[in-house]
Structure 1
Amino acid sequence: MKPKVFLEFVEIKSLIASVLPFVLGTLYAVYNYHQVHLGYLILFFIASSLFHMATNANDNYQDFLHAPRNADNQEFLEATNVVGVNQISIRQARAITFGLGGLSLILGLWLVTRTGLPLLWMGLYSYAVGYFYAGGPKPISSGPFGEFFSGFTMGFMIFWIAVFINTYDKVAITGTSTLEVLIASGIAIFAISNIMLANNICDMDEDIALGRHTILYYLGKPVMLQVFAWSYIVGYVCLMVAVWMGVLPKLSLLTLLSVVPVLKNTQLFLKKQVKTETFILAIKNATIICLSFVVFMGLGLIFN
């Protein structure tokens, strides 16, 4: 397989969606607990990146494998899905998926032996979501909860694991500390879940043809377009609440400056939902929000 095809198969461009929560979780640990375990952190970064690629590969080959073979789906099978377009064999697709996932699992289990059982439970949840997102008899991505699981797993779990790995020997996991992490990561959760929502909005007709009953199928496009817009607002509210609680530096509030480009992109998406033209706006919004959060949270650490 050519490198270009491999990178397309694992959707390398989407890796930033897991990298930024990882960085944010690390900054959170530094701000609140003044501690970093750099070696373990690097291993977690590698493991999470490998698993992110494995999950994307699994999504692509499972979608190709389970798509109905009929005239309505011919374009999806031959011109849309990366497996069909590049004629990747199912055997090769599985080898890449389970190879990447296996390497990630080995690194993850070793980290469990060094940091403790909480990481095992976090990891088991993440791996289960990663596989069943597109695998199994009823994939998560084909149902009404895809947005929740994508946003929660990438926006919160990666953030939380990064915090845990840096503080496992100093801070016990409690309901209060978990709630604080959840609120602090809220802006990332909603920005990332909106990527999945935008994808489903653009693909609504194709999804119905493929037998997928996403949340669009149940609530309709007009309602979910409103949810798309309000999700950003709720995310910004989470940011302000986290600063008020004292778990984020005050300079993090400058992330609110991202409202200007995010509002512009959101208005464009609300007017037109075409996969090849406007889906990218949701990705841009998530990148702008999370990158702004990283920059201003980092500045908050420096000038705190």
Structure 2
Amino acid sequence: MSQDHRLPEDYPGLLRAWLAFVRPKTWGVAVAPVLATLALAYSERHVFDPVVAFFTLSIAVLMQIVTNMENDLGYTERKAEVGNRKGLPRATTRGWISRSTARRAIVVTGVLALLNTGVLIAFGGWPFALVGASSLIAAYCYMGGPKPIAYTPFGELTVLLFFGITAVFGTYYLQTHAWSLNMVLLGIALGSIAASVLAVNNYRDHEHDRSIGRKTLAVVLPEEVFVKVFEVLIVAPYLLVALMVVIDMSYWPYFLVMLSFVDCMRLPEKLRTLKHEALNAVMFSCVKLEIKFSVLFMLGALAQALLMHLTVSAP
């Protein structure tokens, strides 16, 4: 048996190895914007197509999986794993999944994503071919290629663009074939929280990243400045929802998101005081914040739609 296929002593078993590779705990960052936007579309336009919603959710999960697998494999192929890294274990680096198996899994998932994109093209038109292709390219380029995005200060911006703005814009348009200002504001809001997840990840590993030549935002900015950027990423979404309500007070149920604000305000202090592996909990708290924020926004949007229906139907 080749070295590539020999299982290490710490092999956790087939299921746990693949869970480490695809990282399902991060899938909420992909699913949450879709759910919130489906509710926004119903609130504003009173439309909901369950078939389109299913394929929108599935492409979001597939893109997140591809991104996670590409990141895992790309990190290993660059031999970037050194002793001072404090992050979660990488399945290919540990030898739990061989590189050849990882490449095949990425190809299969990529093909599924392209097939899913084909369905979205049928519903939304050819612009979704560009959305699908650019998303796959971004997933690959984050840790692959000659100049990976992960080695630059633009990782958080990339997440905001693809896991916020692109996800929300695409979901909204597929349901409504229209645009709205609230769609733009929601895309920035959810993209900001998604970017905060990567921000914590990069802050946790900034010493390691500096040692291997990665110039992430956490590396190039002074620590206190970076913490301020993190605060903006998690507080701005609440201000953007407030702006939605100020523009049109009939959307006041959107303020339901404020029930998650207490969770938000605890995070900057934890980022300042916790170190190394302890920051993994902060990172997953950001994932939970996005899920909670999105679910609360969804409930608020559905409540707004119900109130408007009752108002219109009242004698």
Q: Same fold (TM over 0.5)?
A: yes
Equivalent position of 1:279 in the other structure: 283
- For 1:127 and 1:31, the matched residues in 2 are separated by 31
Cα 1:158–1:143, aligned 2, differ >3 Å: closer, same or farther? same
Q: What secondary structure, in the 3-state scheme, does the structure 2 residue paired with 1:80 have?
A: coil
Cα 1:48–1:286, aligned 2, differ >3 Å: closer, same or farther? closer
2:196 equivalent among 189, 194, 213 = 194
CA deviation profile, 1:237-273 (whole Å, cap 9, x unmatched): 1111122333982101121232112212332222224
Cα 1:113–1:283, aligned 2, differ >3 Å: closer, same or farther? closer
2:302 equivalent among 283, 298, 304 = 298
Equivalent position of 1:129 in the other structure: 138
1:185 equivalent among 161, 184, 187 = 187
Aligned residues: percent identity? 20
Amino acid at match of 1:282: C
1:252 equivalent among 238, 251, 254 = 254
Amino acid at match of 1:266: P
- For 1:221 and 1:33, the matched residues in 2 are separated by 44
CA deviation profile, 1:143-170 (whole Å, cap 9, x unmatched): 10100111221122111111111123xx
Amino acid at match of 2:46: H
Show structure 2 runs of 5+ residues with no match. 1-12, 309-315
- Correspondence 1:40 to 2:42: no
- For 2:250 and 2:154, the matched residues in 1 are separated by 29
Amino acid at match of 2:159: S
Cα 1:282–1:275, aligned 2, differ >3 Å: closer, same or farther? farther
- For 1:95 and 1:248, the matched residues in 2 are separated by 50
Equivalent position of 2:151 in the other structure: 142
Q: Contact 2:168–2:186 (CA<8 Å) still a contact in 1?
A: no
Q: Contact 1:262–1:288 (CA<8 Å) still a contact in 2?
A: no
C-alpha deviation, 1:86, in angstroms: 4.2
CA deviation profile, 1:198-253 (whole Å, cap 9, x unmatched): 11111101111222110122212111011111222222111111223339821011
- Correspondence 1:158 to 2:170: no
- For 1:27 and 1:216, the matched residues in 2 are separated by 34
Length, aligned pairs only: 294
Amino acid at match of 2:273: K
Amino acid at match of 1:183: L
Show structure 1 runs of 5+ residues with no match. none
Equivalent position of 2:311 in the other structure: none
Instruction: State the TM-score, normalizing by the size of structure 1.
Output: 0.88
Amino acid at match of 2:293: I
Q: Contact 1:155–1:192 (CA<8 Å) still a contact in 2?
A: yes
Q: What secondary structure, in the 3-state scheme, does the structure 2 residue paired with 1:217 have?
A: helix
Instruction: State the TM-score, normalizing by the size of structure 2.
Output: 0.85
Range 197-206 or range 60-69, more displaced: 60-69
- For 1:4 and 1:247, the matched residues in 2 are separated by 48
Cα 1:118–1:247, aligned 2, differ >3 Å: closer, same or farther? farther
Equivalent position of 1:210 in the other structure: 212
Q: What secondary structure, in the 3-state scheme, does the structure 1 residue paired with 2:157 have?
A: helix
Q: Contact 2:33–2:168 (CA<8 Å) still a contact in 1?
A: yes
Q: Contact 1:184–1:242 (CA<8 Å) still a contact in 2?
A: no
- For 1:284 and 1:116, the matched residues in 2 are separated by 33
- For 1:20 and 1:248, the matched residues in 2 are separated by 24
- For 1:141 and 1:247, the matched residues in 2 are separated by 41
Q: What secondary structure, in the 3-state scheme, does the structure 2 residue paired with 1:136 have?
A: coil
Amino acid at match of 1:280: F
Amino acid at match of 1:298: L
Range 273-282 or range 262-271, more displaced: 273-282
CA deviation profile, 1:178-214 (whole Å, cap 9, x unmatched): x542212332121111111111111101111222110
Equivalent position of 1:226 in the other structure: 228
Q: Contact 1:152–1:189 (CA<8 Å) still a contact in 2?
A: yes
Q: Rg: which structure is higher? A: 2
Cα 1:20–1:292, aligned 2, differ >3 Å: closer, same or farther? same
Range 117-126 or range 155-164, more displaced: 117-126
Equivalent position of 1:87 in the other structure: 96
Equivalent position of 1:112 in the other structure: 121
Amino acid at match of 2:106: T
Q: What secondary structure, in the 3-state scheme, does the structure 1 residue paired with 2:160 have?
A: helix
1:289 equivalent among 277, 293, 303 = 293
- For 2:289 and 2:67, the matched residues in 1 are separated by 22
User: Any runs of at least 4 consecutive aligned residues in structure 1 with deviations exceeding 6 A, and if so which?
Assistant: none
